[in-house]
Each structure stands twice: as C-alpha cells, then as structure tokens.
Amino acid sequence: RKEVEQDPGPFNVPEGATVAFNCTYSNSASQSFFWYRQDCRKEPKLLMSVYSSGNEDGRFTAQLNRASQYISLLIRDSKLSDSATYLCVVREGSGAGSYQLTFGKGTKLSVIP
Amino acid sequence: ETGVTQSPTHLIKTRGQQVTLRCSSQSGHNTVSWYQQALGQGPQFIFQYYREEENGRGNFPPRFSGLQFPNYSSELNVNALELDDSALYLCASSHKQGSYEQYFGPGTRLTVT
C-alpha cells in the first residue's frame, strides 16, 4: 500500500500553460508536507513547503487539505526550465526517530516550446 | 549548491561484495539521513543519524548499516550486495533533529552486477 500517491504523469504542456499536480497521503499523523523538484539524474531539491493556509512562491502555489489528506501544486505560466520530476513529500510523526521523509514516485513534467 | 557532498559519484560492484559510501554534511548540520532511489521511483528512507547515533530506520535489512562521525560526516555500508541494491544513494543533511529542511547531496550511483 502506497503511503504517498501522485498523479502518474507524464505531463506534456506547452510553454505558458498552467499545470496542476495532486498528491494524497495515507498517514493522518503526518506533520509536514513539501514539494521537491528533481532534474534528470540529479538530487531532489526543495521547491516549497506546504501549509494548511496555502502558500505561494512566484508562479508556484501549494495547497494542503488535512481532512482529505490531499496536497496540490499549481504551476502558472510554465517555462521550459520547469521541466523536471515533481516529488510530493511527507514528513511523519513526532518523537525520536520519526523524522523520515516519505516520497511519492514523482510526476514528470515536460514543458514544450 | 547545498554544500552536501558525496563520494564516490559512481561505483560498480559485484553481487556479494561490500560497499561504503560517504557523505559530508552541510556546515552546521548535525543530522544526516540516507535514502535509496531506484530507477523510476521516489527516494526511500534508509536511516537517519543524529549526534553519531542511529535515530530512525526505514524498511531495510541489517546488511545496511551506517556511521556518523564527530564532524557529522557519515558513511553508509552495505554488505552482501544484491542486484536489487543497484540505485542512486542520496544523503541529506539538516540542521537539527527533526528539522524538515533536508538538503540533498548529488548522490552515489551504485551498480551491482
């Protein structure tokens, strides 16, 4: 049973398009939520944290719905440089030894000229 | 750049051999986590070290072991290598136990033949 599930992708979108990624998580005790970006054959890099109130960073908007255990990422005005795999990430638990990050499989985005 | 370094960058080993991977954390970071990323998958948590002690472990067998040194650098050791151990091994450092801001190194790509 998957703990963090994402849209299967791949998403192929033209430049300038708006694209949305969705993610669900199974552990209701999860504490923190993030989107990481991973370029081909590179390490994951933190894109943004996700808060219950929603948060925005330029063209990127993240939303969290704890009741539905659902996380989303919206990218507006897509750029070629946005092409990457987007990983939905959940940090679980409290107390010693419970600070692992659980990653989804990722959704690949290709922005086409 | 995150300031997290890993060595070697690539490694080829034979089934049954042992391997040691190394990670130097970002300056001031005292917590190191290790992840395994198989092709097409998200990273999977192996374990975390805080102040030289293992501080949480994922679903990996005992042949995966680690160390953290007083300077907070870390090693991942894998004994009795299996073909399925072929993956990208990522280390991530963070400032303190429980910090969600984990910064990843470039990874070591291990191929087991």
Which of B49, B96, B98 is CA-nearest to residue B76?
Answer: B49
The residues of B whose Cβ lies within 8 A of any Cβ of A are 2, 31, 33, 35, 40-45, 48, 55-58, 90, 92, 97-107
pLDDT of residue A94: 57
Residue type, B1: E
Which of B21, B7, B10 is CA-nearest to residue B77?
Answer: B21
Average pLDDT (B62-76) is 95
Please tell me which of the candidates B45, B57, B106 has its beta carbon nearest to residue A101. B45
pLDDT digits (tens, 9 = 90+) for B80-89: 999 999 999 9
pLDDT of residue B56: 86
Which of B108, B107, B109, B106 is CA-nearest to residue B2?
Answer: B106
B105/A45 Cα distance (integer angstroms) = 9
> Please, which pLDDT band fits residue B50 given cuts at 50, 70 and 90?
confident
pLDDT of residue B3: 87
Between these two residues, B94 and A4, which has the higher pLDDT value? A4
Beta-carbon contacts below 8 Å between A and B: 62
Between these two residues, B44 and B30, which has the higher pLDDT value? B44
Chain B residues closer than 8 Å to A45 by CB = 2, 104
pLDDT of residue A12: 96
A88/A105 Cα distance (integer angstroms) = 8
Asked whether residue B112 carries a pLDDT value surpassing 90, the answer given is yes
Q: What share of chain A is helix, strand, coil (3-state, %, to 5)?
A: 5, 55, 40
Between these two residues, B1 and A20, which has the higher pLDDT value? A20
In Å, how far from its chain's centre is CA B42? Answer: 14
pLDDT of residue A97: 47
Average pLDDT (B53-59) is 89
| Interface residue A23 vs chain B (CB under 8 A) | no
pLDDT of residue B104: 94
Asked whether residue B97 carries a pLDDT value surpassing 70, the answer given is no
What DSSP string runs through B64-100? Answer: EEEEE-TTS-EEEEE-S--GGG-EEEEEEEESSTT-S
B40/A10 Cα distance (integer angstroms) = 12
Question: Which value, to the nearest 10 degrees, does the dihedral of the CA atoms of residues B106, A13, A33, B21 take?
Answer: -20
Q: Are B65 and B3 in contact, with CB atoms under 8 Å apart?
A: no
Q: Are A60 and A47 in contact, with CB atoms under 8 Å apart?
A: yes
DSSP B15: T
- Kindly give the parts of chain A with pLDDT less than 50: 96-97
